[in-house]
Chain A
C-alpha cells in the first residue's frame, strides 16, 4: 500500500513539472506582450530596460525558466501584469471563496441527486423512472452548460424574479450558478451508478443474499448499493474537470468574482503571469484530487487494500 502511495506521488510531481514547464514555454511563445506597446516605445531605452528587468524579462529564457521554477516551489506565482504589482497568489486566494462555494454545492447536490436517480433507475429497470433518468443523463451531458445557465438566468432570474442573476451579493447569489453547474455532475453520476448497479444486480452474491432469506432493504443497502457506489469514486476525476471548465463559463455568465472569471479575464487581457499562475493552480488542484481519489479507492475496496495474497 505504501508503495502504491509513493508511486502516485511521484507521478503527481512529474505531471506538475511537465505542466509548469509547458505553460512557461507556451507563454513565452505567445505573440504580443502584456504591455501597452505604444506607451512603452515612447519611453527611453533605459526605462524600458528597467521595466523589463522588474518583471525579470531581461534575462535569457533559460534563466527565466529556472527562476520561475524556483519561485513556484517557494509558492510565489509572480506578479500580475494587469493588476500591476499584485502578487498572483494573493489575487487567486482572494477569489477562491465564491468558486469554492459554488463548486462544493454543485458537487454535493450533484452526487446526492445523481446517486438517487441512478439507484432508482437501475432498480426499476426499463420502467418510466429508468427512461426519465436516462433522458436527464443524456440531456445533462449534451446541453452545454452555458445554454443552461442562460436559460436559468432568463427564466428563473429575470422573468420570474426568483433568484439573483448576477454578482456576488449574498448567499442566494450562489444558488443559480450551483444549479447550472450541478446538472453536468448529475448526468455523469446518474448514468454511472445505474450501469454499476445493473451489473451488481446480476451478480451471484446477490442471489446468495436472497437465498439467505434477507429482507429487501438489507440486500439493497448492504450488498447492492455499497458495491455500486465504490466505483463512483473513480469518476470523481472527470467530475472535477467538469466543474473546473464549467466554472469558467458559469462565473462569466453570472458575474461571479471567482477564479474562473479571473482566468477568462486574464486571457482577454494577456496577463501572462496570472494565466500561468491559475494554470498551475488548477493543475495542482486536479492532480491532487486524482491522488486523493486513488487513495480513497485503495482504502475502500478491500480487494486492493488487502492484496496480501491468499493463504
Chain B
C-alpha cells in the first residue's frame, strides 16, 4: 500500500510564557490516492494544528517535537524551507475556514490566483490569466473574466470560498487539506461547496484531508475517518466502521450527540464535561474523566491501539481482554 501521506507519531507543542502546551501528542494516520480522510474532533482537539504541521505553517512558538511526516515517501517534517515552498501550493494545498479573511482584501481575485500559477507553473501573464478564468469556471463562478479584476469584498461568502478552492487546486495538487471549509458558510451554501469539492476530487484525482467537527459533512464526503481527542487519535476506520461499529466511547458520544430528525426524543445527549487542559495533560486516557465506562486503569495508563480490521483500530482499555464487555449504546441502530 503506497500511501501518499504517512504521518507517524507526530508530537507538536506550543511554548508559551505560561508553559508548554502539548497540542498534538502522538498522532499517526495515512492517506492514499483519491481518498478522503476526515479528521473529526472538538475545538482544541488538535486537528487544525495537525494539519498545519503537515504544511509546516505553524506559528513560531510551535515546534514539531517528534515524529515523521512522509509525502510520497520523503520526510517533509525536516525539509528546508525553500523546498517546502515548492511543495506548498503545488503538491499539497490547504484551504481555511473563513473565506472572508483568507483572501487579501487589497488584491484582485485574478492576481491572487495567478500568483500560484506564476510561482509553480511558471506561466506568463496572459496565459496565467487564461488559466485563472478556466479555474473560476471550473469552480462554478459565473462571468469569470469579469471576476478576475474584482476584489474579495465584492463577492459573496460562498463565491469567495469557491475562489479559495480554485486557488488551492490551481496547480492540481495531489493532496488538499481542507480545514473546516464549510463551517463559516450557510447550510445551503455548505452543500454546494461540498458537492463542488467532490466533483473536483473526481476530476482531478485529488486526495483530501477534511478537518471538521460536523459528522454530517463526514458522512457526506469521507471514505475514512480519524477521531481526535485532546491531541490524540482515539479511533480510525472507514466511514461505515466508525458510524456503525464504533469502538471508542468518545466516538459513541459524538454519534449520540447528533440530533436525528426521525427520532422523537426530548433531550439532546451531550457528553458532560470539557476537554482537559493541554498544558497539564492527564497521564492516562485523555477521555477518562468524561467517560461513563472509565476504569481505574484508564486514569493511570494510556491505552494502546487494538486492530479490529485492516482499516479499523481504536485506543481504549475496553478492548483489552481483561475488561468487562461493554456494548455500544448505539448498537442496533439504523443501518440501511
Q: Chain A residues in contact with chain B, CB under 8 A? A: 203-205, 207-215, 218, 222-223, 226-227, 230, 301-303, 306, 308-311
Interface residues in B73-91 (C-beta closer than 8 Å to A): 84-90
Question: Is B151 close to A, CB under 8 A?
Answer: yes
Pick the residue among B101, B104, B153 that contacts A227 (CB under 8 A): B104
Interfacial chain B residues near A303, Cβ < 8 Å? 105-106, 151, 153
Interfacial chain A residues near B102, Cβ < 8 Å? 204-205, 207-208
Known interface pairs A308-B154, A310-B154; A212-B89 also in contact (CB < 8 Å) = yes
- Which of B89, B103, B164 gathers most chain A CB within 10 Å? B89
Interfacial chain A residues near B136, Cβ < 8 Å? none
Pick the residue among A207, A302, A309 that contacts B57 (CB under 8 A): A207
Interfacial chain A residues near B167, Cβ < 8 Å? 208, 212
* Docked complex Cα distance between A29 and B151 (Å): 55
Contact B106 A226 (CB under 8 A): yes
Q: Mark B50-68, 1 if CB is under 8 A from A, else 0.
A: 0000010100000000000
Binds A, one of B114-122, B232-240, B276-284: B114-122
* Docked complex Cα distance between A210 and B102 (Å): 11
Interfacial chain A residues near B153, Cβ < 8 Å? 302-303, 306, 310
- Among residues of B, the one whose C-beta sits closest to the C-beta of A301 is B106
Interfacial chain A residues near B93, Cβ < 8 Å? 211-212
Contact A227 B106 (CB under 8 A): yes
Q: How far is the CB of B155 from chain A (nearest CB, A)?
A: 6
Question: Is B98 close to A, CB under 8 A?
Answer: yes
Pick the residue among B57, B120, B154 that contacts A311 (CB under 8 A): B154
Contact B119 A215 (CB under 8 A): yes
Known interface pairs A213-B89, A308-B154; A302-B119 also in contact (CB < 8 Å) = no
Pairs across A and B, CB under 8 Å, 23 listed: A204-B98, A205-B102, A205-B105, A207-B57, A208-B164, A208-B167, A211-B88, A211-B89, A211-B168, A212-B93, A213-B116, A214-B119, A215-B85, A215-B119, A222-B115, A226-B106, A301-B106, A303-B106, A303-B151, A303-B153, A306-B151, A308-B154, A311-B154
Interfacial chain A residues near B86, Cβ < 8 Å? 213
Q: How far is the CB of A265 from chain B (nearest CB, A)?
A: 47
Contact B85 A205 (CB under 8 A): no
Interfacial chain B residues near A227, Cβ < 8 Å? 104-106
Interfacial chain B residues near A230, Cβ < 8 Å? 106
Pick the residue among B96, B107, B120, B151 that contacts A213 (CB under 8 A): B120
* Docked complex Cα distance between A230 and B104 (Å): 13
Interfacial chain A residues near B106, Cβ < 8 Å? 226-227, 230, 301-303
Interfacial chain A residues near B96, Cβ < 8 Å? 204, 207-208, 211
* Docked complex Cα distance between A302 and B102 (Å): 17
Interfacial chain A residues near B85, Cβ < 8 Å? 213-215
Q: How far is the CB of B273 from chain A (nearest CB, A)?
A: 31
Interfacial chain A residues near B154, Cβ < 8 Å? 306, 308-311
Q: How far is the CB of A126 from chain B (nearest CB, A)?
A: 10
Question: Is B94 close to A, CB under 8 A?
Answer: yes
Known interface pairs A207-B57, A208-B102, A212-B89; A223-B107 also in contact (CB < 8 Å) = yes
Contact A223 B104 (CB under 8 A): yes
18 more CB-based (< 8 A) A-B contacts, given A205-B103, A226-B107, A227-B106: A204-B101, A207-B102, A208-B96, A208-B164, A211-B89, A211-B93, A211-B94, A213-B85, A213-B116, A213-B119, A213-B120, A214-B89, A222-B107, A222-B115, A302-B106, A306-B151, A306-B153, A311-B155
